[in-house]
Amino acid sequence: MVAITKNKMEKLREDFPILSRKIHDKQLIYLDNSATTQKPIQVIDTIIDYYSNYNSNVHRGLHKLSEEATLKFEEAHKKVAKFINADFKEVIFTKGTTESLNLLAYSLSNQLKKGDEIVLTQMEHHSNLVPWQQIAKKLGLKLKFIKIKNDGTLDLENNPINKKTKIVSITHISNFLGTINPVKEIGKIAHENNALFIVDAAQSVPHLPIDVKDIDCDFLVFSAHKMLGPTGIGILYGKKDLLNEMQPFNYGGDMILEVKFEDAKFNELPWKFEAGTPNIAGAIGFGATIDYLNKVEMNNIREHGKELTKYAIKKLSEVKNLEVYGPLDPEKRGSLISFNLINIHPHDIVSLLDDHGIAVRGGHHCAMPTMKLMGLTGSVRASFYLYNTKEEIDYFVETLEKVKGVFK
């Protein structure tokens, strides 16, 4: 790993045109990276280049443009696969985390029967909860949950995984509490019980070096837009043998080898799960995103995120009447902090911070049951990425104090 100095990290900001924008005549401070991240010029230019110079469909034309587009599209698959230490055949392009999880719930439901159990945690994003609820209702399955302890970590000693469990699907990093869950340990428990193990890595792949072989997960899902890439493209990683056994989610062009009027033979992996014209620009843009992240190096991104989070927790703990949710140890959390100012609605805080050019998110963060469990209706969330600085956090916390003053 080449350690990146503070100056180099700040220099990266020049790659992001949007960061020089003014919002209400104030410099933009973008702290909503858990929702989506900004895009570097290298990714933007790659997408413009595709549409300007070799726009064409993939896998079908024999002409030059189609050849060029196909090559770049397949290269993107390979880059993403290498990024998470997977095989090319094991990486499927989807619309994003949500679609990947729906694909899994739909395709794996063929292997489930009444009475089978699915284990999730009490801190899932709605996209790793609602698809499972739907198939559970349809097939008479039971949903069980690993509980959250008071410190915001999972109560693994009392986990409900047993021989009836067929699927364990958990978030790696909670988008509300920020907790980093011990995925290797949970995967081991799942496999000891012959259950499939799925990791929702929407908030972890952008921030930590991820190796699917080391985690030993059966499936892992994430979205490009949370890691400097375009929207509308994401990943379903799955172990080859499992993907080969699974029924496709969508049927149509590109996912077949041979079609007769009565029947069809499916294409090999990964194309078996990529029916129809894919998001070509998004995929090629994602390839450029991976190049960018590799250049910065994921270890540096993790270290930078940890430093900013530690700094922000310290600064926020000095603000009176403010409560932070989730573990306070930066080693145990991702680069996001959810909090509330007592007796002030999160939406009011978000709106007043916006007046000062600061973008944070307020609300239930698509984790309504977790909020309710904690007796909350919402929180404010500040989330950081590689282009954020301690100076931005200083301005954010100073402004928060001003905002508090408005309600006196």
When computed from its CA atoms, the radius of gyration of the chain, rounded to whole angstroms, is 22
Q: Is 366 a catalytic residue?
A: yes
Asked whether the beta carbons of 84 and 225 are under 8 A apart, the reply is: no
**Contact partners, residue 59, CB within 8 Å, separation at least 6:** 70, 73, 254, 271
Give the nearest distance from C-beta 388 to ligand 7TS in angstroms.
16
| Residue 147 CB coordination number (10 Å) | 14
Task: Tell me: does residue 198 bind ligand 7TS (CB under 6 A).
Answer: no
For ligand 7TS, which stretch binds (CB under 6 A), given 148-156, 198-206, 249-257, 318-326? 198-206
Nearer to ligand 7TS, 107 or 203 (CB): 203
Among 16, 29, 34, 338, binds ligand 7TS (CB under 6 A): 34
Give, in order, the Cα–Cα distances in Å from 241 to each of 78, 163, 219, 246, 401: 19, 22, 11, 9, 55
Task: Tell me: does residue 98 bind ligand 7TS (CB under 6 A).
Answer: yes
Task: Tell me: does residue 127 bind ligand 7TS (CB under 6 A).
Answer: yes
Nearer to ligand 7TS, 9 or 235 (CB): 235
Backbone angles phi, psi at 100, to 5 degrees: -60, -45
Nearer to ligand 7TS, 54 or 145 (CB): 145
Give the nearest distance from C-beta 176 to ligand 7TS in angstroms.
7
Residue 366 in tokens: 């698509």
Strands (E) across 85-227 are located at: 91-94, 117-121, 142-146, 165-171, 196-200, 219-223
Task: Tell me: does residue 200 bind ligand 7TS (CB under 6 A).
Answer: yes
For ligand 7TS, which stretch binds (CB under 6 A), given 190-198, 199-207, 300-308, 317-325? 199-207
CA distance 294 to 286: 12
Strand partners, 168: 119, 197
Three-state secondary structure string covering 68-114: HHHHHHHHHHHHHHHHCCCCHHHEEEECCHHHHHHHHHHHHHHHCCC
Task: Tell me: does residue 175 bind ligand 7TS (CB under 6 A).
Answer: yes
Strand partners, 200: 171, 221
Contact track, ligand 7TS, 365-384, x by CB under 6 A: xx------------------
Task: Tell me: does residue 107 bind ligand 7TS (CB under 6 A).
Answer: no
- Token pair 């991240």 is found at 37
Nearer to ligand 7TS, 125 or 239 (CB): 125
Give the nearest distance from C-beta 179 to ligand 7TS in angstroms.
11
Task: Tell me: does residue 125 bind ligand 7TS (CB under 6 A).
Answer: yes
How would you label 9-42 residue by residue, b for 16+ Cβ within 10 Å and e otherwise?
beebeebbeebeeeeeeeebbbbbbbbbbbbbee
With CB under 6 A, what is the number of residues at the site for ligand 7TS? 16
Task: Tell me: does residue 223 bind ligand 7TS (CB under 6 A).
Answer: yes
**Which residue of the set 154, 217, 366, 403 is catalytic?**
366
Interface residues with ligand 7TS (CB under 6 A) are: 34-35, 96-98, 125, 127-128, 171, 175, 200, 202-203, 223, 365-366
- Active-site positions? 366
